[in-house]
Chain A
Amino acid sequence: MRGFWNRLLFVDLSHREIWTDSLSEDLWERYIGGVGLGAYLFTKYGGNFDPFSDKNPIIITTGPLVGTAFPNSGRHEVVSRSPLTTFLGESNSGGRFGFELKRSGLDGIILTGISDVPVSIFIDDGEFRIEETPELWGLDIYQTQDAIRKRGNYSVMCIGPAGEKRVLFSSIMNDEGRAAGRTGLGAVMGSKRVKAIAVHGKKIVEVNDRIEYNRAVKEASKSIMESPVVSGFRSYGSMIWMDGGIGFNDIPANYFMDRSFQFDDLSSIKFHEEYQVSSYNCAACVIGCGRTVRYNGLTVDGPEYETVAALGPLLGNTSFQNIVEWNHEINRLGMDTISTGVIISAIRHFLKAGLIDDAAIGSYYSDNFSGINRMIQDIAMRNGPGNAIADGLYRYATSLGIDRDLIATVKGLEIPLHDPRAFKAQGIVYATSTRGADHMQGDMYQIDIGGDHPDIGIVAGDRFSIDSDERVRTIIRTQDFRQVYNSLIICYYAQPDPDLIARAYSLATGFSASIRDLVDRGSEIINLKRKINEDLGLRPEEDWLPVLVRKPIEGEPQESGTTDEELISVLQRYYRLRGWGKYRPPQR
């Protein structure tokens, strides 16, 4: 076996012990790496424990292509029980951390226990140690990374004050503003009192057939560069969807209520014309969607599509200036920009609709949004009214008696910014995804635009049609395929011919697999994650989508909506085709 070191780092924080161990070869083959490996390791080292208990592990994995030159493979995955959803949490991130970790001679890290004082973990090309770092506690993520980089040429993953305060949607940030943002894993790291993990590695990852592998890398890079959207990503970053999404009504506005928004104000073109923007790449990336922007004399991370959409149209804010400032603050404090943006937008709507009557909360919102920065600080520090909001939208809204159908979450995770009324199959991905509402578990909005792969059973269809076995099979296959990406791990903006992915995997590892074999393994990974969730208390009725994002918007086609009956019928098909038994809808 090549492409792996077969070496995992174990850190017992309670006893300050650190050691490495291996797995049997069949497990590396079966679970691929990344999220597949992470889910398997969770079954071994995790379980039905409080997310903040010493027994809930944080599992950080790389994959067989990570650390090599395979395009867009510089990623790592973080898996743990999510304090936000209470189910299996997972999130992957780009930057350099995964690349450096793999090149330090490790495939992953498993953190267990709780430290009595704040610590950081240092990994120097395969040498590792735990250090007490109380001086870093309380620092924001940029200050933390700067402080650690003064000690060596490290790639750093860390939490900010929000993770320390256990904000349930806090992120684990790395390499400036790259984020394992979703499902609140920063709070788990905070509960363990781990401020940062710093890694530097320069070992060459051995692959099984170097010459042929390099050829596959070249072909994959060429295939990615030929994709028509890549030039757009290079020129405008992921924010280009602020321009592309409007043609499909994919960008929600005013807390998913309507589309009445001046989208021209937040065009990616305008952003690139009006600001001093630079681009950067994650390790091994051939695209470079990353953005930094000059703001108030500083160079800060530029917002991605999801962030612009959440803090812009969803909130009803037309100012890029605000978005750049809030994005910087949310990142700096270490929170998920999607969850934070959706929550701030939701509360604004609840206030306007008279569902909340609270002067302290109301004071965050003014016509020019001048209170939002203070709101972000209060949430991150759990100050005053921010404390309750820091528990996430679902807990906050239900505590106020707000109807579930008005709450933009699935399994407690805030719904991202691809509107299920633009691509109804995307809504089914949100409803069924094991980590909650999630566009990174199946990109049906891209498939139904025509980015399909008929050879592996992923066929583009009418974006308003979902209720047939054929359509549901495509949704399932798309989710399975996404597990392959999240396990190898590759950024989904890179879409080489799928056969090339399988070829590179086989050449790297020496495990022979076709793309169909890998997608079948993706399906097993989903079933494993589902089983973990059932053990953590998941019930079928949690696979659901609130009416808020299913009700057609005035003036848009009636068939863009999804009724209860249609949703139930599709979910019944989904359960049958997945072999998950009988679907039970929520009781009304």
Chain B
Amino acid sequence: MADEILFPSQAWVDEYCKKLSESPDYNKAGKGWKDPIMFTISDPDSLSERPEFNSFTLYLKDGRCEKCEMVRDENSSAPFVLTATYANWKKIIDGKINPTQAMLTGQLKVKGNMALILRYASAAIAMVKVAQMIPTRYIS
């Protein structure tokens, strides 16, 4: 599996952003969404290999990913911040927990308008499906 890309890494996030824009499912389900979302790993120190960054932001607009940004500044924020442990991110990406379910049970913590993000449940599912298309290597 030489082509596997480490999650998280610049290459993974670039690929993800590109694939989101190419996904007809996401293009449709994400229509009307306007805000950047920051994705954060809450427990980088507990991992066997320290990732190069804990957070990245996707600039999502109307079903497309306009750009992505690695976040290295601890104090950065975005209108929406989704935070989970590395293990929970893995579960979400692997489809083991539904993202809406993860938000409602606190496995995925939401900063921002909860109702708005719940409303885009089908976009969240489309985003998971897109993530699953990337051959991913996880930190063990």
Contact = CB atoms under 8 A, between A and B. Distances in A.
Contacts of B103: 228
A8 to B, nearest CB: 40
Interface in B115-135: 115-116, 118-119, 121-122, 124-125
A232 B114 contact: yes
B104 A243 contact: no
A269 B115 contact: yes
B118 A232 contact: yes
B104 A244 contact: yes
Nearest to B123: A247
| Dominant secondary structure at the A interface | helix
Interface in A216-231: 226-229, 231
Given A228-B110, A247-B100, A248-B100, A240 B115 contact: yes
Contact of B107 (A227, A244, A450): A450
What's the interface size class on A, roughly?
20 to 34
Nearest to B111: A231
A562 interface: no
Nearest to A241: B118
Interface string A422-457: 000000000000000000000000000111000000
Contacts of A228: 103-106, 109-110, 114
B119 A246 contact: yes
A450 B103 CA distance: 10
Counting chain A CB atoms within 10 Å of each CB, which of B100, B113, B118, B124 scores highest? B118
Contacts of A243: 115-116, 118-119
A85 interface: no
B101 interface: yes
B115 A450 contact: no
Contacts of B102: 450
A450 B97 CA distance: 10
A451 B100 CA distance: 13
Given A236-B115, A268-B115, A269-B115, A229 B121 contact: no
A267 B119 contact: yes
A236 B103 CA distance: 16
Contacts of B109: 228
Nearest to A269: B115
Contact of A231 (B97, B114, B122): B114
B114 A450 contact: no
Interface string A265-288: 001110000000000000000000
B105 A450 contact: yes
A235 interface: yes
A244 B106 contact: no
Interface of A: 226-229, 231-232, 235-236, 240, 243-244, 246-248, 264, 267-269, 449-451
Given A236-B115, A240-B114, A451-B104, 17 more contacts: A228-B110, A232-B114, A232-B118, A235-B115, A236-B114, A244-B104, A246-B121, A247-B100, A268-B115, A269-B113, A269-B115, A269-B116, A449-B100, A449-B104, A449-B105, A450-B101, A450-B104
Q: What 9 A-B pairs have minimum CB-CB distances, sorted nearest first? A: A247-B121, A450-B105, A228-B106, A232-B114, A247-B100, A243-B119, A244-B118, A243-B118, A243-B115
